[in-house]
Structure 1
Amino acid sequence: MEANRVLIFAGGKIDPAFLEDIRQDDMIIGADRGALFLVEHGIRPDISVGDFDSVTQEELDSIKNNSKEIIACDAVNKDLTDTELAFDLAIERHAGEIVMIGVLGSRLDHTLANIQMMLRGMQHQINSVIWDTNNYVTLTGTSCEIEDRGYTYVSLLPLTTEVTGIHLEGFMYPLDDATLKMGQSLGVSNRLKGKRGTIRIESGLLLIIQSKD
């Protein structure tokens, strides 16, 4: 089965308003407690996956009874996080786009791992997005158009040692053939001038974070 867009709901904090963005042809994957969130809000996941060590037996029974498919793994003898298990399933199902929701939280190690996971999406020619109330995160190695989504800032951070040939159009602080290196804050807290802006780069990988307080 091929999926146009895959939404992964993980166990972090999720605003129920995000459920309003679900489209009829989306594939929905619940990762561990993210599956419980979906079930509790009347959404039947196409797949629920994880070790389910963060839910009670009663909650797990509810997930099993309200999911189209469930893939459970041992909590001790596994090499991948629940989110990565879900991400791998999205790749296997030939997703056109992967949107990860509830993957940014208090665990910095999990947050960074989930951000770096977007690299694997790019390696499979799949656009990946991380989305929550305060952040909308994308990744580019070429060019992209940034849409005003109601966030205040647009920050650019290198995900490689350096990113060269950066051109910004439609931003309050434009750049022309600029270079950003890891450890520099030059690309932090830019703003769109209007509803859209364009980012082009010549080399490297650029993390684009739309954010608000």
Structure 2
Amino acid sequence: MNDKRVVIFSGGDLYPQYIDEIRPSDYVIGADKGALFLIRHGIKPDLAVGDFDSISPQELEHVRAECGNIVECDPVDKDLTDTELAIEMAAREEPGFILLVGGTGTRMDHTLANVQMLNRALQHQIQCAIMDRNNYITLTGSKLEVIDRGYKYVSLLPLTPEVTGITLEGFRYPLDNATLKLGESLGISNVLLGERGQISIAGGLLLVIQSND
């Protein structure tokens, strides 16, 4: 199993406790103001990417000085968001896992785009998760082990029109070969019975969201 990790700090909501998620062996990417956030908290990212339109010219010079590897793009003439560019750069490192923090916030368009980008990582055969203070979001097209990370609920939402063959083990409300369709709420607010639970599906893409109120 590939245990290499990439941690991306994007430009959404960022909090100092997120720094604790970084392991010494992680490859760290700062996207746009996520790079500045890392530097201000004593972390020099392995890579900084983006158009850097969310920080001032003086702050950008600070990022350039502190980060030896930086990829800058034009804020107008570009097709990818800074976060998508960071995920593509992360995939080049061939990790087994990508953790995205700062991927959610007040911009719902960016939040939804980032959730959908979990599938981009999955297409590279890389497991990816989005974490914030109240949510831990992953995506599976086959099997997934859900670990108790201190969140109260585990909810299942289809990312494709339907997800078939859903089987849950280790949950308060088990499912056996069930089907979930877009717009149905059957998978909301399940609970782990112990430290781990197992999810398997036969077809489709399933969002797994661990959350607190």
TM over 0.5: yes
Question: Which category of TM-score, normalised to the shorter sequence, fits these structures?
Answer: over 0.9
1:75-124 per-residue CA deviation (whole Å, 9 max, x = no partner) reads 11111100011111011222221111001111111111111111111111
CA distance in 2, matches of 1:148, 1:173: 16
Task: Please state whether the residue corresponding to 1:121 is helix, strand or coil.
Answer: helix
Q: Which aligned pairs between 1:22-41 and structure 2 lie closer than 5 A?
A: 22-41=22-41
Equivalent pairs: percent with the same residue?
Answer: 58
CA distance in 1, matches of 2:88, 2:16: 25
Task: Give how far 1:30 is off.
Answer: 0.3
1:120-171 per-residue CA deviation (whole Å, 9 max, x = no partner) reads 1111111111111111011111111111101111000011111111111111
Aligned amino acid, residue 68 of structure 1: G
After the TM superposition, which of the residue ranges 13-22 and 170-179 deviates more from structure 2? 13-22
Superposition RMSD on alpha carbons, in Å? 1.3
The corresponding residue for 2:128 is 128
CA distance in 2, matches of 1:39, 1:22: 13
The corresponding residue for 1:92 is 92
CA distance in 2, matches of 1:5, 1:30: 14
Residue pair 1:3, 1:26 contacting (<8 A) in 2 also: no
Aligned amino acid, residue 30 of structure 1: G
The corresponding residue for 1:79 is 79
Q: TM-score, normalised by structure 2?
A: 0.96
The corresponding residue for 2:116 is 116
The corresponding residue for 2:211 is 211
CA distance in 2, matches of 1:137, 1:3: 19
CA distance in 2, matches of 1:201, 1:96: 21
Query: Is 1:107 the counterpart of 2:112 in the alignment?
Result: no
Residue pair 1:146, 1:198 contacting (<8 A) in 2 also: yes
Query: Is 1:5 the counterpart of 2:8 in the alignment?
Result: no
CA distance in 2, matches of 1:124, 1:76: 27
Aligned amino acid, residue 116 of structure 1: Q
Unaligned runs of 5+ in 2: none
CA distance in 2, matches of 1:91, 1:196: 27
The corresponding residue for 1:165 is 165
The corresponding residue for 2:59 is 59
1:17-50 per-residue CA deviation (whole Å, 9 max, x = no partner) reads 1212211221100000100100100100011111
Task: Please state whether the residue corresponding to 2:117 is helix, strand or coil.
Answer: helix
Q: TM-score, normalised by structure 1?
A: 0.96
CA distance in 2, matches of 1:164, 1:3: 29
CA distance in 2, matches of 1:158, 1:102: 23
The list of structure 1 runs, each at least 4 consecutive aligned residues, that deviate by more than 3 angstroms after superposition, is none
